[in-house]
Amino acid sequence: MKILRTPDSAFENVKNYPFEPNYTTIQTHDGSELRIHHVDEGPKDGPILLAMHGQPVWSYLYSRMIPFLVDAGIRVIAPDLPGYGKSDKPASREDYSYQRQVDWMTDWLKANEFKNLTFFGQDWGGLIGLRVVANEPDRFLKVAMGNTGLPYNPDTPQDVIDKVKAFRDSDIKLTVMSMQKEVSKMDGKNIADDKTSSSPALKFMYWQKFCWDTEDLPIGFLMSNMMEKNSTLKTLISYLFLRLGLRKLFPLNRAIDHAYEAPFPDPSYKMGPRAMPSHVPTIPDQSLSAVRDAREIFKNWNKPFLSVFAGDDPVTNGAERDVLNMCPNAKSAPQIGGGHFYQWTRPKELSNLLANFIKEND
C-alpha cells in the first residue's frame, strides 16, 4: 500500500491549534505501517472524552471545544482518521473502505489501551466510531453522538439503488453550487428511511459524486462556506476565483481555508475525503451485515447514551428518530443549532452538554 505523510511544515501556520501531537503506528491488512495522530489534552486523571471527527475535516474541528472541556476537568482525546489531518494518507481509492476505517481505528484504540471512555462522534466519526464502540464495548462507559448515525437500509427499493448507481457512474459534471443546491433539498427525513422515491439517498448522491469526481476537492472553500457567515458578494467572488483555479488568491476565510487545506499538500493526498462519502451506506452494500451487528449491540445497550443533534442540519435532520429506535436506552438532548459542524459553531453549548453528560452520576 502506498502511504503519504503530510510534512510537519504544512501545519506551521495553522492558527489556534497549539496541541502537542501524539502518534500511534498500526499495521494494515497488507503489513504496511500506518501512523495515526491524536490530540491528548486535559488532566491525565480526569474523565476521558474520545471525540471523533468526520469528512472532510480533522481534529482541528474540536480546537474550539477543547479549552471548554479541559476547563471542566475533562481529558480530551481527538484522533485524526487515516486520510485526514496529521495522520497518514493511503494514496489509492481502493485502500479505503468503511470496514478498513473501523479496523484501523479499533487497532489504534487497542494499541493505546484506552479505557473508561465516553465517546462522541459526528458525521463519519459516528459511522466509524459507533462500530468501534460495538467492537470494544468494555472500553466505554458512555456514548454520545449527533449529526450522524448507523444507516441500515436492507429494504431499499431497487429503483432507488439503480438511480443512485447510475448517477454515480454518469458523465454529469457537478459544481460546488449545483451540488449544494441538491443536498440542501434533503428535507429532514431520516437518511435510513429509503422506502420512498424521495429517498435521501437520491440527494446525498450529489455529495458522493461531487467528492469523487473532484480531484482537487475544495475543502477549504467548503468549510469556510459552512462554518462562517459570509456575505453573498464575498462568497460569489471567492467562488469565481475557485472556478478559475485561483482559490488561494481570494479565500473566503483565510484561517479556516488554510487549516482545512493544510493536511493536503497536493490533490494526491485527498483520496480519503474523496472516496469516503461513497461508503456511506445509504443503499445496501458490503457493510450491511456489520452495521446490523453493531446496531444489535446498541439495541441492548444498558449504559448511558446521549443523542445530541443540531436540529438545523439538512443532511441529518430527522436522523435522531433512527438513533432513538436503534438504542432504546438513548436520551435526547436539547437541539442546539449550529448546522452540520456544530463543534465549530456551537463549541461552548456542545461542550457543556457533553461535560454534564460525562459527569452525570459520577
Pairwise CA distance, residues 76 & 111, whole Å: 17
For 275, other C-beta atoms within 10 Å of its C-beta total: 21
DSSP character for 190?
-
Instruction: Tell me the angle at which helices 98-111 and 288-299 cross, rounded to the nearest 10 degrees.
Output: 50
- What are 65's three cell numbers? 471545544
Question: For the chain, where are the alpha helices, taking DSSP H only?
Answer: 66-71, 98-111, 124-135, 158-169, 176-183, 201-213, 219-227, 232-243, 254-261, 271-275, 288-299, 319-326, 342-345, 347-359
293 is annotated as an active-site residue: no
Residue that has been written with the C-alpha cell 494514496 in this structure: 91
* Active-site pick, 37, 53, 279, 340: 340
* Active-site pick, 80, 123, 194, 322: 123
53 is annotated as an active-site residue: no
* Active-site pick, 95, 107, 194, 313: 313
Pairwise CA distance, residues 327 & 161, whole Å: 27
Angle at 163 between CA 157 and CA 167, to 5 degrees: 155
340 is annotated as an active-site residue: yes
Residue that has been written with the C-alpha cell 473502505 in this structure: 97
Q: Are 148 and 122 within 8 A, CB to CB?
A: yes
Which residue numbers are catalytic?
123, 313, 340
